[in-house]
Structure 1
Amino acid sequence: MDLSTTIYDSTQHDNFYPAASADHGLSVSELTAFINDLMATLVLEELGSIYFNHLQVLLPIEGLSLSDFDARWVYGRASLTSVPLELPVNNVASLDEQAHNAYYYLTQTLTMSQRTILVQLHDMFTKQLGHALAYRQLHKMATKDMLTGLGNRSAFDEALTRQLGWAQRHHEPFALLVIDLDNFKTVNDTWGHREGDNVLVTIASQLKGLLRDEDEAFRFGGDELCCLLDCQSQQQLACAAARIQHNLKQSDYLNKRHITCSLGGTIYRANDDAGSLFDRADKALYKVKNSGKCGYHAA
């Protein structure tokens, strides 16, 4: 890997490099600590943070950006320095098949030994980054409903646990909406399960178009769907439910199959756990189902 054109300009610095005695590489203990910490996780956000923390101790680096992969993966003061050092991230599988770089923001020019250290650490980090990205892709496949493209039951459980943790730490409520399709069994019995699959795909597509970036939809099982919504009041939740119902009623295809939906919702309350939150929304749903379907109730 040649960094000379990016880091050094020998015509500007007659005595650029310090004396060899002032320069040193990584000690065995430093390298061992780095490898052990790096190998301890395949969670991408944690991996970037661990890597940056080691860089700050070992090198004059104030920021690291992995924004070629995700705009959120920026560490330190990466946005405050105008000219970063770019190093290619090779041998990392990417869905868009584009070249990716890691961007390092320096507080001073690197010495030759520091340059060697950075290349060494960068190479080890990018190998683990490749493993983490592959793990994330496998995890997505394992938590996605292959028919609709929505998250499956496992994905819902994970997302709900994550939302509960956030709500408990920051005292910010969220909403759970449970959706059950009316007359879905009739579609399967009359037109077959392939047509039932088409109904589910259509519903999923409608939900994806309706929900905001901060909301998530899941196929909980069969013809039951769940949404985790950034709603903090009953009024906001009622508006979201009405929007979903209105949108589905506008579908000529669903109308021909006599498909409507019943919805039950609830807002997070202090001391809620996954069971209490879901049970409350589910009971609200069955009040709708028992009172004629095609409606919404909040608990």
Structure 2
Amino acid sequence: MDFSTSVYDSTQHNSFYPAESTANALTSSELAGFVSQLLTTLELQELGGVYFQQINMLLPVIGFSLSDFDSRWVYGNAKVSSTLIDLPLKGASTINGEQAHVYYYISSPLSLSQREALFQLHDLFGKQVKHALSFMRVQQMATRDTLTGLGNRAGFEQSMTRQLGWAQRHDEPFALLVIDLDNFKYVNDNFGHGEGDKVLVHVASHFSKVLRDEDEAFRYGGDEFCCLLDCQTQLQLACAAQRIQSSINSSSYLAGLAVSTSLGGAIYRDGDTISSIFDRADNALYRVKNSGKNSYQAA
């Protein structure tokens, strides 16, 4: 995505728009169809795709971005447009608590009526975004592990479904790491489950330190974790695995309990399902467990 194009704040650059309208305002049937399409989903990523399809048919918008929520959520062609229009989403914030914006890439200057239509459609989209964000918060409560703060198994399956859909539509691979704690049973048996819980929380904190914003970590169950990573090659995946393992091995607390990690990885392949990519990574993990632990292998 290229944000080096000219940026126009539409509330400040009125002179950019042609003085006279060269296109008709939206009809009531067009607006009704637009709203009807927006109401088909509360998934924010999918909502962005539906919105772009609609606005692309109604206005000369050839690219659209919700990168304030996720850097991958870019629709259409956001590279060749000569002008970027940046509009705030009222009442919507980024994960950092800052004002969220929508970025529109247009292929030609907008007429006055087109400008008004863009504002109108943007406002309608913003209302549905608020519903989508509320839905997302409810989902996060149901898909979050209460002990570690990471996603739980349901959250993993939900994120994996999204990743698979994105990979299939855009031909962009991703990676899965399956991680098991070595000697965790020893901790529970000898120091109690309270100490075991501390170990899980401590390990989760290391994921938060070493993973990038576009990566996700989950407590899959017990002492098993999963990471969905923005990696396209085996080398990138190996580097990510090494970062995680080095961070955990550097912990004097975990070393004192003889806790280390075994990791298995897999890169998305065309035609993969949740089960197929997970099974490859899990099989690689068990090869590590059977060959001495505290190492990494890829499928």
Using the size of structure 1 for normalisation, the TM-score is: 0.72
Distance between the aligned counterparts of 1:56 and 1:204, measured in 2? 42
2:14 maps to which residue?
A: 7
**C-alpha deviation, 1:219, in angstroms:** 1.2
Shift in Å at residue 152 of structure 1?
1.7
| SS of 1:148 mapped into structure 2 | coil
Alpha-carbon offset, residue 154 of structure 1? 1.8
| Residue 110 of structure 1: aligned partner | 111
Post-superposition Cα deviations, 1:274-299, rounded to whole Å, max 9, x if no partner, equal 33443344344445445554445555
Give the secondary structure class of the aligned counterpart of 1:34: helix
Please tell me whether Structure 1 or Structure 2 has the larger radius of gyration of its CA atoms: 1
What residue in structure 2 maps to residue 218 of structure 1?
218
**1:132-187 alpha-carbon deviations (Å, 9 max, x no partner):** 22223333333232322332212322344455556667777655433221222332
CA distance in 1, matches of 2:171, 2:98: 40
Q: How does 1:1-299 map to 2 (within 5 A)?
A: 6-7=13-14, 16-17=19-20, 25-59=25-59, 61=61, 64=64, 66-73=66-73, 80-82=81-83, 84=85, 87-92=87-92, 95-102=95-102, 107-111=108-112, 113-164=113-164, 175-212=175-212, 215-229=215-229, 230=231, 232-233=233-234, 241-266=241-266, 272-290=272-290, 293-296=293-296
Give the conservation status (yes or no) of the 8 Å contact 2:181–2:259.
Answer: yes
Counterpart contact for 1:60–1:110, Cα < 8 Å: no
Report the Cα distance in structure 2 between the residues aligned to 1:205 and 1:148, rounded to whole angstroms. 8
Q: Are 1:187 and 1:257, in contact at CA under 8 Å, matched by a contact in 2?
A: yes
The code of the aligned residue for 1:262 comes to S
Residue ranges of structure 1 left out of the alignment (5+ in a row) = none
Q: CA RMSD in A?
A: 4.0
Q: Aligned partners of 2:177, 2:293: CA distance in 1, in Å?
A: 15
Q: Structure 1 residues 114, 279: closer, same or farther in 2, change over 3 A?
A: closer
Task: Write out per-residue CA displacement over residues 79-113 of structure 1, whole angstroms, 9 at most, x where no aligned residue.
Answer: 644573x55432335554444444556634533x5
State the secondary structure of the residue aligned to 2:253.
Answer: helix
Change in Cα spacing, 1:171 to 1:188, as seen in structure 2 (3 Å) is same
- Aligned-pair identity in percent equals 53
SS in 2 for 1:40: coil
The residue identity in structure 2 corresponding to 1:226 is C
What do the CA deviations read for 1:106-134 (whole angstroms, capped 9, x no partner)?
634533x5554444323222111211222
Shift of 1:36: 0.8
| Distance (Å, rounded) in 2 between the aligned partners of 1:167 and 1:73 | 13
Structure ranking higher in strand proportion: 2
CA contact (8 A) 2:262 2:285 kept: yes
SS of structure 1 residue aligned to 2:217:
strand
Structure 2: how far apart are the matches of 1:68 and 1:42?
Answer: 18
* 8 Å contact kept, 1:174–1:231: yes
Letter in 2 for 1:206: H
Cα 1:279–1:122, aligned 2, differ >3 Å: closer, same or farther? closer
